[in-house]
Amino acid sequence: MDDKRGEFFMTYVMSDIHGDYSSFYNMLVKINFSSFDKLFILGDVVDKGPDNLCLLGFIRSMPNIFLIKGNHEYLFERYLQGTVSAELWDACGGSITRKEAEGLTEEKKADMFQYLRSLPVYEIVTVGGNEYFLTHSGYNADYDVFHSGMGLIDIKESVDQAVKADQERYLFSNDIHYIPAVLKFDKKIIVGHYPTFLIPGHKMYSIFYGEKFFDIDTGNERRDEGGRLACLRLDDGKEFYI
């Protein structure tokens, strides 16, 4: 997975891996991911799959892989905090992760809680002159902040306000998939969270490219139904699937 490219690097995005360490590792091999590249994961690394803590530990160990908080990291965090019950987390697909977490020492649980709590809910990156807003769910329609005189929604300020008011509601929101056509954002938004085959008119396990946002959750937790893991290279728009 490593090579010598000097100072040159590529920027990749993935999302909704859901404890599937094997497919994730195979993807890194497929894209020839190196120490000179960057990878942003748009949340939901854990739950539903078999290797949650192993996958999370690998991501934590990599200085050039950046995890953005998804609703499943949020559930893990709140469970460790004691504000989400085992029954609720299990109902949301967290039973395997929860059982893995129960094997941690109290010290490691505390460390994991601090790590999860510290995860950002978005990252802003510029690649090839294009500015991207990377986040898990994308948007909460109750918190529109417009640029003065421009008619554009300031997505950063809108998300900051939404998260400050109710982080849980933001991370679980599907609002970006139902926004009126007249609304425009100041940045291209890339999300996961909502499997692309559910998007009207798309109905495929492939990356969705909309006028206002891209969705890269191609249903990896539904592999028995045809779902797969997607990776998008921002530098040239090349898609990869495992």
| Angstrom distances, CA of residue 130 to CA of 94, 136, 157, 185, 236 | 36, 19, 19, 14, 11
E-strand stretches of 100-218: 122-127, 130-135, 188-191, 208-209, 213-215
User: Which residue from 77, 72, 70, 2 is spatially nearest to 33, judged by alpha carbons?
Assistant: 2
**pLDDT score of 193:** 98
pLDDT for 8:
59
Domain spans of the chain, in order of start: 11-140+187-241
Phi, then psi, of 190 in degrees rounded to 5: -120, 125
Q: Is beta strand 122-127 parallel, antiparallel or unpaired with respect to 130-135?
A: antiparallel
Predicted confidence (pLDDT) per residue in 27-58, tens digit:
999 999 999 999 999 999 999 999 999 999 99
Q: What's the pLDDT at 179?
A: 87
Closest CA to 39 of 17, 59, 11: 11
User: Tokens at residue 3, please?
Assistant: 């090579």
pTM of the complete model: 0.94
Amino acid present at 32: N
Give the model confidence (pLDDT) of 142-181 as tens digits: 998 998 777 899 999 999 999 999 999 999 999 999 988 8
Q: Is 121 exposed, middle or buried (0-12, 13-18, 19+ CB in 10 A)?
A: buried
Instruction: Please state which of the four CATH numbers 3.30.70.260, 3.40.50.970, 3.60.21.10, 3.40.1080.10 is assigned to the domain occupying 11-140+187-241.
Output: 3.60.21.10
Is the pLDDT at 7 greater than 70? The verdict is no
Span 186-211, pLDDT tens digits: 999 999 999 999 999 998 999 999 99
